[in-house]
Structure 1
Amino acid sequence: MKRILNHILGIGAGAALFYGCNTAASDDKRAESDPVTFQVNYGEPIAPIQPTMYGIFFEDINFAADGGIYAEMVKNRSFEFDLPMIGWLQPNSDRFSMNEKSGFASVIKTDSDEPNANFLRVEVKADNGYVLRNEGFKGMGVKKDLQYNFSMMARNQSGDIKMHIQLADSTGKVLGKTTIDPDASEWKEYTSSFTATSEEMKAVLNIQFEGKGVIDLDMISLFPSDTWKNRPKGMRADLVQLLDDLDPGFLRFPGGCIVEGRNLARRYQWKKTVGSIEDRTTLVNRWNTEFAHRPAPDYYQSFGLGFFEYFQLAEDMGAEPLPILSCGIACQFNTGELVPMDELGPYVQDALDLIEFANGDSNTAWGKVRADMGHPQPFNMKYIGVGNEQWGPQYIERYKAFEAAIKSKYPDMIIVSGSGPFPDGEMFDYGMKELKKLGAEIIDEHYYRSPEWFLENADRYDSYDRNGPKVFAGEYAAQTVAIASPDNKNSWMTALSEAAFMTGLERNAEVVHLTSYAPLMAHSEGWQWTPDLIWFNNLSSYGTPNYYVQKLFSTNRGTHVLSLTENGKPVTGEKKLYATAAKDENTGEVIFKIVNASSDEQNTQFKLNGIDGLASKGRLTVLKSDKTDVVNSFESPVAIAPEEQEIALKGNELTVNLAPYSLSVIRVKTVVQ
């Protein structure tokens, strides 16, 4: 959301811009002080900025997939959870008290090895008496006048039964309803739609049975009709829109630690997430019991959002798909279980088959699976990641096996390796040393540190070898308290410190090719980890100050980084200022990103060399607050949000008075003869 700046105080001969405090005293103070002067060399770009420079890292943590971006409203729709009635209630039937006059339901576990082996058998004893209820994911968000699409698989064993499908609020008021008459004696899909009459944050789905008899049910499902691109059984549109608005250069998926699993049996296996939805294997989410402060025993993965949907989402957003696969090591913070090297073959084959799934012709085995899902054309995947944040000799040994196999068959595939969970220390040093020896192409680095660390490390990549491996800053977020603390906040100070650090990422575009914040999303009642880029509940969502920092960098990335110096040195925190400059060859603009991390206004001047002048108008966007602990919220979703103003210019110098605690982005067209 954009709010217009309400003043521009002056334009001098060198195109002066002013914003922030506008008292006469501050004007006098500005006039008396000399600006900090930056030299910008437009004519000799340092390096191209990769289209992948700013992207998205998606992990199913904080109910980001089921209960989040995947718009399914029914929890445990196929009764495959370890406790198969999680999410389901029988409000007027209690088998333990022998109150079964209305009826009861039992989960039937077949002996089949099929992914969806369980189903629900309902015995209805009293006409219009038995009710089956689903509580949804912390309730079900219902919008007035929106159509909802219900579906289920059913098999009528005996009797004559009708099913009245209802959305209801906490008082029992019906918000929308439809009726289904499941009469087939063999499994059959039934569908129906209805329109909601009211809005409700925490509705439930009631299935009221009319008649008597026995019926089997499976894949009970409810979706809103307003999914992303109106795809049936698709994604929640408001959340995808927030992602699309970031203009991401890549989408990394599916994690994160869920790639590894607490043990190898519970690792993410992409082949179990493609094909028909009813044939995908449900898995307990590895964040289910990870944190004692936020247990989530009902947190499972239905894989309705699977690898095909991830690829499709990347394509929708014009982003490069970047899947990460298990390297045969379970999470080393949990069991650290290792697959023996002589049994690593299936893991390596999964990587080769994934490349075929993404890029193969429809006459290949896995290319045909993709084509049968509705995408005959390849996804043109260029990157693949081996492991998440493993460390030690065991990782290097397994990485070598993956690299040899992938490069042998797909020599142009770019492989992303990992340097472990921390940005320094013994694990990091060993991983970097060994991966450099191997000539690794891109190394993933992770940083969860304090705002002070981010401010102090804006020059981190200034000294990296320009001829060595490229960097993927794959997970970063400033922590107000400590890593994984439930008390972390998405404060303006965290966002501002990340912006300062990001100027260093962009300035070193020769080395840094990909960057992404993490984690991406969190349900307001279902989170396990803070801070997070986007927060949502069952009806609404908002971007944090950190989100707007990411958006300003990503939507103003430019094509080539320029030299921007003060007294011949990069601007990396001296006087608490951080800055980077880029040119955009597509628009003919120069783009400045400037962070003032101090509590004082600061007057700065940018002198552009290699141009004849600037256009008469430009655009200024500022993100600021004089309170560093302020956060966005559902009540105040844009407490901190970009403010934008068109500005008038002339000459080839910019004098900019920077507001305290601010990120400013300036775009100006250049005149070059």
Structure 2
Amino acid sequence: MKINTKIFTAAISLSVALFSAQNGNVQKHFLDLDGTSTNIKIQSTMYGIFFEDINFAADGGLYAELIKNRSFEFDEPLTGWKQPNTKTLSPNLDSGFLTIITDRSKTNKNYARITVWNDKNYVLENEGFRGIGLHQGEKYDLSFNLENVSGNISAINTSLIDENGTVISSVSTIIKGGGWQKYNAVFAPAKTVEKTKLQITFTGKGIVNMDMISLFPQDTWKGRKGGLRKDLVQKLYDLQPGFLRFPGGCIVEGRTLAERYQWKKTVGKTEDRENLINKWNNGFSHRLTPDYWQSFGLGFFEYFQLAEDLGAEPLPILSCGMACQFNTAELVKMEDLDPYVQDALDLIEFANGDAHTKWGKIRVEMGHPKPFNMKFIGVGNEQWGADYIERYKVFEKAIHAKYPDIKIISGSGPSPDGEFFDYGWKELKKLKAQIVDEHYYNSPEWFLKNAGRYDNYDRSGPKVFAGEYAAQSVGVVKPDNKNNWLTALSEAAFMTGLERNADVVTMTSYAPLFAHADGWQWTPDLIWFNNLKSYATPNYYVQKLFSNNKGTDLIKISENGKPLKGENNLYASAVRDNKKGETIIKIVNTNPLETLVEINPKNIKLNNDVTKIILTSPGLSDENNFQTETIKPIEETHSLKNGKISVGIPANSLIVLKIK
């Protein structure tokens, strides 16, 4: 593995050189906690979730469909499908064959015509998303559309078989009548298997047309048919997010304008939604995934519904007429921008309009009579330069003319500094932008050094959305990046600086969110999953501790009158939660030895009991995995001594102190 010397040096300095603990002596620090109001509110949106369909996050992940290319809509319509001989596993077209029929008047334009012409048992198989995972004792709904064209085919026989060819579960469906009909069946596997495939055979001879061959677990989030994967949504719910950003990310932009994310194509009946190639299918040479497409089964209606389920504000991001500037940099002309602006206005109507509006009516017909009460919208993802500013002006004017209360997210580009960043901020300040999105993927050392990044930001200027950030253990866009304790610890230190500056920073989110163990393109990622289960990274638990303990009001914690932003390798922030009647202190210790702190409360009355939550690990390179989550919070109870909080902070740790 090629080692990034800068980051390797950072790791060494974290564990040795940066720290002043000498001769094994435990350091002690005296901190002041001032309960006097700072008049700074912690926004409910302070900690949220960034979702992008990268790493098989939607199809093959959060969207619980188990059949890949279920309606034969990929550019290569047989992607994911095989026609093997059951004995040799090589194509056996003597027993029958499949052709693709295309009707370009429809969005779901393709279907399969299957000809079975002898008794050698023609076979059609689907491989799923790196296999189909099955849980013993659970049930799985199979459905397909079929038209009996000719002959005497009387039944469709479907089986789920493992990698050795063993049948795990099977069911036969009787075919009746002519014309297109939808058929349903249920699998009940008797064992748990991570990787199976769907096998279809036919009783009789003849010709049938098939489309929308689909398989879903019955045990989805909230039990919704054709819904979302339960264990993954639960992890999102446990974060208690303030917002849910969707659909990205660079996927908003597309490699070309034709491949941009268009929300209107993701609503209505799922079988009528137009499939689209995923931007990340060949985004990185180290992980080419030509079979990565978007079915949009997880579309904008499902997104708004998920945000509502999570208790999170929806934060949609829309194309501003600029394709990804790292790809084609295709630009729509200003005179052709109106349809893009109208998409933004129509999305607000879809989310918030009543049944008498065009798009509000569609939402109602989809099953959600009440408005989603959307308050935010993003214009562009991470575009930069004068072209972006010119387009942002048009969007801002049109949106606020019709919806003056909507808060608009603008962007400062893909980097946390430099010419593009400086230009973007200068222009957006002139325009009195409301919230500016900043992105930073960098080394753990950068995150530690930038805990005071927002201390000197203009308090009267636009607010900040730290919309994408993650510490990179090796380097940006390096496949060997790890979600280790070093990256999580450095992010925790940085987050104390975000919280200390809650009058400037009002929204934050880690990125990316999900990664399939066999289908990822980018590392590191917050939550990893395979076909059966998922695990939370140390970075996830850092996010959870901050989000679950964000409080309502900022208060001050200091040492010698100064905020803790890395001096003596300590980082801290403190809040009061007026709803729960708690004072909450977060402290990060990046020393290799335990540090003792004594906190002296001023202008605040505290209960005698202190809840101490500890997140730490012996090694900075330690990680969680599918077998065990060794890095997760541990809770203890302590008592105040002489009215002061005296606690030991383990080496390389984040602690959260909660006092009634």
Q: TM-score, normalised by structure 2?
A: 0.95
Measured in 1, the distance between the counterparts of 2:367 and 2:119 equals 43
Tell me what 2:426 maps to. Answer: 433
Measured in 2, the distance between the counterparts of 1:98 and 1:590 equals 67
8 Å CA contact 1:132–1:208 kept in 2: the answer is yes
Query: Which residue of 142, 145, 156 maps to 2:148?
Result: 156
How far off is 1:183 after superposition? 2.6
How far off is 1:647 after superposition? 2.3
Give runs of aligned pairs for residues 521-600 of structure 1, distance below 5 A: 521-600=514-593
Give runs of aligned pairs for residues 350-369 of structure 1, distance below 5 A: 350-369=343-362
1:169 has 2:162 as partner: yes
AA at the equivalent of 2:596: N
Q: Deviations over 1:376-403 (max 9, x none)?
A: 1000000000000000000000000000
Measured in 2, the distance between the counterparts of 1:130 and 1:580 equals 66
Query: Which residue of 661, 667, 670 maps to 2:658?
Result: 667
1:348 has 2:341 as partner: yes
- SS of 1:287's equivalent in the other structure is helix
AA at the equivalent of 2:624: N
Measured in 2, the distance between the counterparts of 1:556 and 1:269 equals 36
How far off is 1:98 after superposition? 9.0
Give runs of aligned pairs for residues 10-409 of structure 1, distance below 5 A: 35-92=28-85, 99-110=92-103, 112-127=104-119, 129-161=121-153, 162-409=155-402
Change (3 A) 1:64 1:653: same
- SS of 2:635's equivalent in the other structure is strand
Query: Which residue of 463, 470, 473 maps to 1:477?
Result: 470
How far off is 1:329 after superposition? 0.2
Tell me what 1:452 maps to. Answer: 445
Measured in 1, the distance between the counterparts of 2:96 and 2:200 equals 13
Measured in 2, the distance between the counterparts of 1:394 and 1:100 equals 54
Measured in 1, the distance between the counterparts of 2:317 and 2:143 equals 33
Tell me what 2:4 maps to. Answer: none
Query: Which residue of 475, 479, 492 maps to 1:486?
Result: 479
Measured in 2, the distance between the counterparts of 1:182 and 1:139 equals 28
- SS of 2:490's equivalent in the other structure is helix
Measured in 1, the distance between the counterparts of 2:405 and 2:385 equals 27
Tell me what 1:639 maps to. Answer: 630
Tell me what 2:9 maps to. Answer: none
- SS of 1:370's equivalent in the other structure is helix
Tell me what 1:12 maps to. Answer: none
Measured in 1, the distance between the counterparts of 2:72 and 2:147 equals 16
Q: Deviations over 1:329-369 (max 9, x none)?
A: 00000010000000000000000000000000011100011
Measured in 2, the distance between the counterparts of 1:196 and 1:653 equals 58
Change (3 A) 1:657 1:46: farther
Measured in 2, the distance between the counterparts of 1:502 and 1:113 equals 51
1:511 has 2:504 as partner: yes
The percentage of aligned residue pairs carrying the same residue is: 60
- SS of 2:540's equivalent in the other structure is helix
State the aligned residue count: 636
Measured in 2, the distance between the counterparts of 1:65 and 1:122 equals 29
Tell me what 1:656 maps to. Answer: 647
AA at the equivalent of 1:148: Y
- SS of 2:205's equivalent in the other structure is strand
AA at the equivalent of 1:125: W
How far off is 1:533 after superposition? 0.3
Report the RMSD for the aligned CA atoms in angstroms.
Answer: 1.5
How far off is 1:606 after superposition? 1.2
- SS of 2:623's equivalent in the other structure is coil
8 Å CA contact 2:610–2:657 kept in 1: the answer is yes
How far off is 1:172 after superposition? 1.8
Return 84-93 or 46-55, whichever deviates more. Answer: 84-93
Q: Deviations over 1:185-235 (max 9, x none)?
A: 211111111211111111000111110010000000000111000100000
Query: Which residue of 627, 630, 638 maps to 2:622?
Result: 630
Query: Which residue of 591, 600, 613 maps to 1:607?
Result: 600
Measured in 2, the distance between the counterparts of 1:597 and 1:425 equals 29
Q: TM-score, normalised by structure 1?
A: 0.93
- SS of 1:490's equivalent in the other structure is coil
AA at the equivalent of 1:547: Y
Measured in 2, the distance between the counterparts of 1:98 and 1:523 equals 29
- SS of 1:390's equivalent in the other structure is coil
Q: Which runs of 4+ in 1 moved over 6 A?
A: none
8 Å CA contact 2:459–2:503 kept in 1: the answer is yes
Q: Deviations over 1:42-61 (max 9, x none)?
A: 12234000000000000000
How far off is 1:522 after superposition? 0.2
8 Å CA contact 1:74–1:137 kept in 2: the answer is yes
Measured in 1, the distance between the counterparts of 2:545 and 2:422 equals 33
8 Å CA contact 2:341–2:398 kept in 1: the answer is yes
AA at the equivalent of 2:611: R
AA at the equivalent of 1:231: R
Measured in 2, the distance between the counterparts of 1:570 and 1:435 equals 29
AA at the equivalent of 1:401: V
Tell me what 2:19 maps to. Answer: none
Measured in 1, the distance between the counterparts of 2:72 and 2:175 equals 19
Structure 2: tracts of 5 or more residues without a match = 1-21
Measured in 1, the distance between the counterparts of 2:268 and 2:177 equals 25
8 Å CA contact 1:148–1:225 kept in 2: the answer is yes
How far off is 1:160 after superposition? 2.2
AA at the equivalent of 2:559: E
Measured in 1, the distance between the counterparts of 2:555 and 2:91 equals 77
8 Å CA contact 2:35–2:601 kept in 1: the answer is yes
Measured in 2, the distance between the counterparts of 1:98 and 1:238 equals 37
Measured in 2, the distance between the counterparts of 1:573 and 1:120 equals 62
8 Å CA contact 2:320–2:391 kept in 1: the answer is yes
Measured in 2, the distance between the counterparts of 1:304 and 1:640 equals 34
8 Å CA contact 1:151–1:189 kept in 2: the answer is yes
How far off is 1:646 after superposition? 2.2
8 Å CA contact 1:119–1:216 kept in 2: the answer is yes
Measured in 2, the distance between the counterparts of 1:583 and 1:100 equals 70
Measured in 2, the distance between the counterparts of 1:651 and 1:471 equals 40
8 Å CA contact 2:83–2:91 kept in 1: the answer is no
8 Å CA contact 2:85–2:122 kept in 1: the answer is yes
8 Å CA contact 2:251–2:261 kept in 1: the answer is yes
Q: Deviations over 1:587-630 (max 9, x none)?
A: 11110100001112111111111124x21322110001121011
